[in-house]
Amino acid sequence: MNNALSYPHHGSRILLFWCAAMFVYFLMVFGSLADIERITGVRAFDMRPNGYSYADALALISALGEEGRRVYLTMQIPLDTMYPALLAISSASSLYWLSQSFGSTARWYRAVAAVAYLAAIADYAENGLIVWMLNAGLGVPEALVTATSLASVSKSIFSTIVYTTLLIALAEFAIRRMRQRPKVS
């Protein structure tokens, strides 16, 4: 396939990308994000799928202090620089790979595979805007908080579409496999 969205076609390569994505995810959830929550007593910007208000952002920025800001900028953001690409490749490749046997629904799954890249783009936008907010400190403009919150919500919406579709594709794949098995008498 020669297009902008090339996918690993082999199941073991896809599994390797999933393992790498989950490894980074666990490092974030049980490492940097847990540290941020321990320091501040609230969830990090990255873990707020419904976004946040200006007051919420100021409260988190204030609660971070120097230690939390350091953790966010030197641990969380670098990890979250790897994660969106790994996750997009994993989920898009999985959808593409599963869709190869689906006939009429294949186009739908392939279209949703492209949405995985939109989720990654939104995640990268969120990361960049979070860095900007943290560097601005308590003087962060309200418009910047609004833009960052919108990126967080967009990431969540795109991700929900992708993972819901991936679960449906996996279920469809499993059902087709069970129907194809020879019946034992």
Q: List the chain domain ranges.
A: 11-179
More confident call, 12 vs 122? 122
More confident call, 95 vs 32? 32
Instruction: Work out the average pLDDT over 32-50.
Output: 97
Give the CA distances from residue 40 to residues 69, 98, 123, 147, in Å, rounded to whole numbers and listed in that order: 10, 42, 22, 22
State what percent of residues in the chain have pLDDT above 70. 91
Radius of gyration of the CA atoms of the chain, in A: 19
Mean pLDDT over all residues of the chain? Answer: 91
* pLDDT recorded at residue 70: 98
Q: Which two tokens stand for residue 133?
A: 């907010």
pLDDT digits 0-9 by tens, 99-154: 877 765 677 888 898 999 999 999 999 999 999 999 999 999 999 999 999 999 99
